[in-house]
Structure 1
Amino acid sequence: MMSTRVKLATLAASVVALGTLAAGYPVLSARSTPTPASAVNRSVTLHPGPRLLAVTDRHVSTVSLTDPAGPRAVSDRECLRAYAAAGTGVCLAPSSPWSYQVVVLDADLRPVRRLDVPGLPNRARVSASGRMVSWTTFVGGDSYTSSGFSTRTGFLDTRTGSVVASLEEFTVRRAGRPYRSADVNFWGVTFAGDDNVFYATMATAGKRWLVRGDAAARTVETVRENVECPSLSPDGTRLAFKEAVDADPARGWRLSVLDLRTMRATATAERASVDDQAAWLDGGTLAYTLRQDDGRPDVWSVPADGSGPPRLLLRGAESPSPLT
């Protein structure tokens, strides 16, 4: 019998376009069962501590990092994607059956800012300082895409209140030269420690690039091909990312780590196709979501240097984020 992890890899490899993934996302989300009122724990907080934040049945939850299989506290805060750092959280939440919001949360899960966003929630991040909040959604109706779906990625400076609605507003340099194209899409932002430099994925002309951005200058420049959903390490020297096998997303993705000084990529021991923006639990361990063949999510972890096998961290959860 084919194992669940092999089935996961096979299923993930069949997702060949953003439109396919976007169309399937509501189905996967609908399979979650709302958390019963009796299970709601309103004591969940985003204050720093040795805990792991995750989304459980569309609700913000936390568990102990040292005992992730132990008791899980589940809040009544509904999110499809969530992330937190330094006491600031971001929640991509439904505001109606067909519309969504970016909700910035304080450490006690109270909303401090709401932004309406188009499309279906996909990625969410908070910079290590808690200052910068970013998000990615799938949208429909762009005429240049054969599927009719593309992405919108933006970010908010919580200190100044300024909002970038879409990275498509930024000036692009590809291979050292100015570049413009109607088909440019961005997703998966991760901020450096200065809250200005960031990395993201840019897709154009059938290729996917790692880009390095400057928020103040409103520019991005390409760094390396075949890098998707980057996640910067705590020391700022490495990027976890998903790498399309043989540069072909139809064959699935390998969870890998890029050394920014040498530009050398190292594949982790995770062999299943990882369609996620991994989180760093610490300087040497990654956490990420894999879906079972019925669509239910689990959180797994794996050493970042390729030295050890993956292990199941948290059943029935997604969007992992350490609160340390």
Structure 2
Amino acid sequence: MSTRGATSTPDLTNTRGTVSTRNRRVIAGLCAIAAILFAGTGYVTWTITRSGRPAAASGLAPAPAGPGTLVFLDRGRTLAQVPVKDPAAEPVRRPLSCLRTYTAGDTTVCLRPVAVPAGFEAAVLRDGREIAEPIRIDGTPSRARVSPSGRLVAWTVFRTGDSYAPGAFATTTGIYDTKTQRLYGSLEDFPVTVDGKPYQKADMNFWGVTFAGDDQTFYATMSSAGHIWLLRGELTTRRLTAVRTDVECPSLSPDGLRIAYKKRLGQRWRLHVLELGSGRETPLAERAEVDDQAAWLDDTSVAYARPDADGRPALFTVPADGTGSPRLLRREATSPAVIR
């Protein structure tokens, strides 16, 4: 797949983030979103790819449907959509192939491979058309998120290896503002505070962004020194503050009051929901291991991908209050998102 770009050069002031991280620790059994962990020194640079064709003129897919639409990757990694109330319906397939995707508002981020030079990029589409230069991402796509308004996009990629199994691997996470065309580099660039004190260690790793509705606040996970924290981030100040331990792959609810996440219990992850105000956490009725960043279907339920009884990828949903039982949404599907 060729890259796409614009004839005019965008303002790249403060849009390139470079990370140099030295890691000497092996973290076993983290989710696919563990970040920057490798021996030696590596450099991560987000870049904007250009060609001679205006990005805004390249219509790769029809505009997504309105509120109440479930968007996902269908078999063959094709972007598709069905009504949330009828998830088994024949999908409307859009001519866009992605390894990971997410849609919110009228914005879709598609993490996809490129052929020359070989690698991957994040394409940002609004109303079915690319609105920015594709962003070269240095690693294999793992997670993608868009803020509720559609303004901010985030991605996580594997930096070394692509196995979820225990062992050494690394990923990194970036954020892009579609309004200002600003790349915020990697979360490794943001100062971190833990227990009221600045925190800086060589083995700090970040993953799993989820955005609040103000286009400034976000949450992510950090691991370091054998601990895992939920971080609250602020784009204006570029700061990250630890607010909770043992929260992985967070997903903020539509009302902004709760976070669905994975929690490791022994050798397995189980879905939980955290009430941000009270700190109360609730294990959900899904007892199978879920290695995914859940997405909220509405204020009362979450969706996620896991293997079905035949070992094939499928989407399931479960109530967010710990009651009920898992329900199959759609077979051979991943990367769920709901347009509101």
Pair in the same fold by TM > 0.5? yes
> In the alignment, is the contact (CA less than 8 A) between 1:88 and 1:106 conserved in 2?
yes
TM-score (norm 2): 0.78
Change over 3 Å in CA distance of 1:55–1:109 after alignment to 2: farther
Give the 3-state SS of the residue equivalent to 1:168 in structure 2.
Answer: helix
- Partner SS for 1:113: coil
Q: Report Cα offsets for 1:211-245 as digits up to 9, x if no partner.
A: 01111111101111110010101110000001111
Equivalent in the alignment of 2:84: 65
Aligned residues: 283
The alignment status of 1:84 with 2:103, answered yes or no, reads yes
Q: What code does the residue aligned with 1:318 have?
A: T
Tell me what 1:163 maps to.
183
| 2:29 pairs with 1:16 | yes
**Higher percent of residues as helix:** 1
Contact 1:19–1:148 (CA under 8 A) maintained in structure 2:
no
Letter in 2 for 1:155: I
- Name which of 189, 196, 204 aligns with 2:209: 189
Runs of 5+ unmatched residues, structure 2: 1-27, 36-59
1:305 deviates by: 0.4
Aligned to 1:48: 66
Q: What CA deviation, in whole Å up to 9, does each residue of 1:117-151 have, x standing for no partner?
A: 1111111000001111011011029xxxx955211
* Alpha-carbon distance between aligned partners in 2 of 1:221 and 1:202, rounded to the nearest angstrom: 10
Check if 1:133 corresponds to 2:125.
Answer: no
Deviation at 1:110, TM superposition (A): 3.7
> 1: CA distance between counterparts of 2:239 and 2:94?
38
Contact 1:227–1:242 (CA<8 Å) still a contact in 2?
yes
The gaps in structure 1 that reach 5 residues or longer are: 1-14, 23-41
Q: Paired residue for 2:220?
A: 200
Select the residue among 294, 298, 317 that pairs with 1:278.
Answer: 294
Whole-angstrom CA distance in 2 between matches of 1:155 and 1:292: 32
Question: 1:1-324 counterparts in 2 under 5 A?
Answer: 16-17=29-30, 44-56=62-74, 57-96=76-115, 98-110=118-130, 112-140=132-160, 147-245=167-265, 248=266, 251-292=267-308, 296-324=312-340
Q: Distance in 2 between matches of 1:218 and 1:289?
A: 31
In structure 1, what is the Cα distance between the partners aligned to 2:274 and 2:33?
28
Residues 72-128 of structure 1 show CA distances to partners (whole Å, capped at 9, x for unaligned) of 122220101111111011011111395110110112254533100111111100000
SS in 2 for 1:91: strand
Q: State percent identity of aligned pairs.
A: 46
* Higher alpha-carbon deviation: 81-90 or 287-296: 287-296
Most deviating of 175-184 and 109-118: 109-118
Q: Is the CA contact 1:173–1:179 (under 8 Å) kept in the aligned structure 2?
A: yes
Q: State the Cα distance separating 1:45 from its structure 2 match.
A: 3.0
The one-character-per-residue Cα deviations of 1:29-54 (angstroms, maximum 9, x if unpaired) are xxxxxxxxxxxxx8753242321000
Per the normalisation by structure 1, the TM-score is 0.82
What is the distance in 2 between the residues matched to 1:50 and 1:19?
Answer: 29
Q: Match for 1:51: what amino acid?
A: T
